[in-house]
Amino acid sequence: MKIYLKQNVWDAALERIEHIFDEFDDVVVSFSGGKDSTVTFQLAMMVAEKRNRLPLKVMFLDQEAEWQNVIDYVRDVMTDPRVDPMWFQMPIRMTNSTSNDQHFLHCWTEGDDEDWMRPKEDFAITENIYGTDRFFDLFPAIMKHHWPNKKLAVLAGVRAEESPARLAGLTTAATYKWITWGKAVDKKVGQYNFYPLYDWSYTDIWKSIHENGWQYAKAYDYFYQYGISPTKMRVSNLHHETAVHQLFYLQEIERETWNKLTKRLEGINQARHMTKEDMFQAKKLPYMFKDWKEYRDHLLVNLVTDQSYQDAMRKRFHAMDEKYGLMKDVSKLHKVHIATVLAQDIDFTKCSNFEQSPYAITYRRWRRGEPKDIKFVQKSEAKDWIPVAV
């Protein structure tokens, strides 16, 4: 249940950031070039200027295969004289959801200079000394290395509107003192991530950007022109499982980026010959399979060539079969698994999103014998989950 206050989200966010600056001597903005981190950066800059806490430290973890217009925008932010930049262009691995054989893009690998999407920035941090090459593991490792045994607050543009799991995670329990809108990275040392825009809507984001005349990545204008829903507009590496839809119009907008990416990474060029539905999902069950589960198992064996990934997917799918096997329309589950295989989603983002949906949560409550929200279950989609009359 949402509780609305008289205070608007703009004032609330500024008040939260003010409080973080009160509590922490070291405050960093985690920047992606996206709309949410844009607003987080601008609000943090307002507070830092007011408190004479400039330059404001801003960090950006460059995934190499990015929109060029996003990189141009990030460069404008990072070269602002009020910013102390930490632009990481170092060897990391990013999941490639477009190929059955080349599972990762090995970003910024030394010796592959001619193959890079673009040259490195003169002021970039180029050596990976953090003990990991995976994207999400790098953030706590960077914090630990550059701020050893020091309190640290990292501000990021995460909003609860984007998923039910985020809503629960950012409103349920206190992370730091009374603050729920954050995540502890190292409580013992005092290092935390905070999300001061957690209760903003995407409409609040765009209102603040346009009314203040703030610069933003032009990729969003292209998304709008191509009819992408505002809630689906995402700035990320171009081969990530949640951003691959951008491949279907990248070649029309940034031809040079498209040409470089097709040379850099296997699987990209198939977007030129297939529709999104053909490439990343299956809408119609082929006649030779008795059900979607059989089709899923066929695709798993024949498309996932790395045995370790195939074994991991089989284990995850089996666990979910056991948990959700009594669903009234279990094909919903198996279609998620098929999408996982087709997108080579070895981090299981699609499976996690499935399990975090309100319908899956209600189903698990039903399996445990807990009271059900009748009005919720009676919604058309929920009826496909609970296999009994309610």
DSSP 74-107: HHHHHT-TTEEEEEE---EEEE-TT-SS--EEEE
Top pLDDT among 389 and 204 is at 204
| Full set of structural domains in the chain with CATH | 9-202 (3.40.50.620), 292-370 (no CATH)
Residue 186 pLDDT > 50, yes or no?
yes
User: Considering only CA atoms, which of 337, 315, 325 is closest in space to residue 363?
Assistant: 325
Residue 49 pLDDT > 80, yes or no?
yes
| Secondary structure (DSSP) of 319-360 | HHHHHHTT-TTTHHHHHHHHHHHHTT-TT-HHHHHHHTSHHH
Top pLDDT among 242 and 20 is at 20
Grouping H, G, I as helix, E, B as strand and the rest as coil, residue 164 is helix
Round to whole Å and give the CA distance between 275 and 61.
31
Q: Report the pLDDT averaged over residues 212-236.
A: 89
**Residue 390 banded pLDDT, cuts 50, 70, 90:** very low
Residue 99 pLDDT > 70, yes or no?
no
Grouping H, G, I as helix, E, B as strand and the rest as coil, residue 163 is coil
> β-strands 152-155, 191-194: how paired?
parallel
The CA angle 34-63-111, to the nearest 5 degrees, is 155
Secondary element (H or E) of residue 27:
strand 27-30
With a CB cutoff of 8 Å and minimum separation 6, the contacts of 232 are: 245
User: Each residue of 258-269: pLDDT tens digit?
Assistant: 888 888 887 676
Q: Report the pLDDT averaged over residues 241-265.
A: 80
User: Each residue of 27-45: pLDDT tens digit?
Assistant: 999 999 999 999 999 999 9
| Secondary structure (DSSP) of 193-255 | EE-TTTT--HHHHHHHHHHHT----THHHHHHHTT--GGG---S-TTSTTTGGGHHHHHHH-H
Q: Taking all residues of the chain, what is their mean pLDDT, rounded to a whole number?
A: 86
Q: Report the pLDDT averaged over residues 16-32.
A: 97
Predicted TM-score (pTM) of this structure: 0.76
Longest dimension (CA), the chain: 69
CA torsion angle for 377, 381, 387, 388 (degrees, to 10)? Answer: 40
User: How many percent of the chain have pLDDT more than 70?
Assistant: 86
Residue 204 pLDDT > 60, yes or no?
yes
Query: Given the structure tokens 């307002």, which residue do they identify?
Result: 46
292-303 helix and 331-342 helix, angle to the nearest 10 degrees? 20
**Residue 247 banded pLDDT, cuts 50, 70, 90:** confident
Q: Report the pLDDT averaged over residues 249-273.
A: 77
**Residue 100 banded pLDDT, cuts 50, 70, 90:** low
Q: Report the pLDDT averaged over residues 50-73.
A: 96
For residue 179, give both structure tokens: 């603050």
The CA angle 236-239-244, to the nearest 5 degrees, is 80
